[in-house]
Amino acid sequence: MLSDSLGKIKAIVGANWGDEGKGKITDIMAADADIVVRFQGGSNAGHTILNQYGKFALHQLPSGIFNENTVNVIGNGCALNLEYLEKEIAKVMEGAPNLKFNLMIDARVPLVLPHHILLDELEEVRRGDRQFGSTKAGIAPFYSDKYLKECIQINEIFHDEHLQYRLKHLYERVNLTLQGVYNAEPMDYMDVYARIMRFKDFIQTHMADASSYLRKSWQEGKNILMEGQLGALRDVGMGIYPYVTSSHTLAGFAAIGAGVPPYAITDILAVTKAYSSCVGASPFVTELFGEEAEELRRRGGDAGEYGATTGRPRRVGYFDAVATRFGAECQAATELALTGLDVLSYLDEIPVCVAYEINGIQTKDFPAPSLLDSAKPVFETLPGFKQEIRHIRKFDDLPENAKNYVRFIEKQVGLPIAVLSNGPKREEIVEL
């Protein structure tokens, strides 16, 4: 039995392809959180947050950044791009000039370096029409270097000779690749060194042993939130490989990427939208096309159906219970947050994908990625609620058909919906 005096660690993660609305949910929950932690990913995706200061796309900063009493941690599992972070902080400060934000960066966070971005770009060009649709933030080359044990962690920048030695050896290999594979100009490791050193004071100010801080805080009873980026189906292991990100997007990885005991993460809230959306190339079983897609994308306009980081139009479809149940199971979710219910208010009927048909056989189990292209959605159709619902704050006040839709999704996914969001604004939440 864990002691009652221990804190609560809650993870807020995506059940689908990302863009589920985690930013809004985390932003709300961050108000009561002592600490908000990013445990994976980098500047390649983003959360959209709408608050009293305006609308912000956060990429590397944790969503508690606008709350001065919250400590915002970038954990060791993240990919830290200092130059992008500088810009992101500048944008936040532009909107909230008097904000005294509280940022802690784990000493073990590795840096995204200029060659990661360059290699990402060169590789997409080399792939031509077989592109992954990378956001070109250097994430795949970064995680490749991480597992080659050649990344630079921020703690290393305080040891000059050691850092130069590591960079020299790293760029020996990088330059062989740049010149030999891509016929590109080599890079001077001392230029990279200078670009990193510009941030020495900034790192000095924010660097800490975050894992140790988090473990102590947990023991002291603090309220800690782990904030996931992207969704379960983009996890490099369990997701729809190779259309995944290069890190682990699952709550289980928060134990490693933040450095806390796995059994400390007791509450896992998987966020899912009342319909599906997906950015970039990948199989997408419930995808809509033509007018029907255009309408849903337009209605979801406030739901930012254009990627927070990429501005690319999102592909949209009806709710996919097969993918969502799988995603929630991968997340080991204990409850669901359902967002974007308001977006569906125009539909006469709301189809929900309850099974896949693969090679003539119906299944409710999400298949191995290579079977997804042959999966066809099997829909069950529910009556629409045909009413604007953004102003409604109590579940009982929702139209009967909206309530039925919510209950149907709970049943299909097999988890209770603990948070119901019916609009992009912070206060647009329905009490359950």
Point out the residues that are catalytic.
19, 47
Which helix (H) or strand (E) segment is 356 a member of? Answer: strand 349-358
Per-residue DSSP letter, 135? -
- Taking CB under 6 A as the criterion, which residues in 33-92 touch ligand GDP? 46-48, 50
Asked if 57 and 246 touch (Cβ cutoff 8 Å), the reply is: no
- Taking CB under 6 A as the criterion, which residues in 342-361 touch ligand GDP? 342-343
Choose, by CB under 6 A, the member of 12, 253, 421, 430 that binds ligand GDP: 421
Distance of CA 266 to the CA centre of its chain: 20
**Which C-beta is closer to ligand GDP: that of 80 or that of 338?**
338
Per-residue DSSP letter, 113? -
Q: Verify binding: residue 235, ligand GDP, rule CB under 6 A.
A: no
Choose, by CB under 6 A, the member of 22, 38, 59, 325 that binds ligand GDP: 22
Distance of CA 166 to the CA centre of its chain: 31
**Which C-beta is closer to ligand GDP: that of 14 or that of 327?**
14
Max alpha carbon distance in the chain (Å)? 68
**Which C-beta is closer to ligand GDP: that of 27 or that of 106?**
27
Q: Verify binding: residue 174, ligand GDP, rule CB under 6 A.
A: no
Q: Verify binding: residue 295, ligand GDP, rule CB under 6 A.
A: no
List b or e across 272-309, with b for residues whose CB sees 16 or more CB atoms inside 10 angstroms: bbbbbbbbbebbbbbbbeeeebeebbebbebbbbebbb
CB of 428 to ligand GDP, least distance (A): 6
**Which C-beta is closer to ligand GDP: that of 108 or that of 299?**
299
Which residue is closest to ligand GDP by CB? 304
| Radius of gyration over every alpha carbon of the chain, rounded to an integer in angstroms | 22
**Which C-beta is closer to ligand GDP: that of 24 or that of 166?**
24
Report the amino acid identity of residue 300: G
CB of 418 to ligand GDP, least distance (A): 14
Report the amino acid identity of residue 298: R
Please give the Cα distance from 215 to 427 (Å, whole number).
32
In the complex, the residues that contact ligand GDP under the rule CB under 6 A are 14, 18-24, 46-48, 50, 302-304, 308, 339-340, 342-343, 421-424
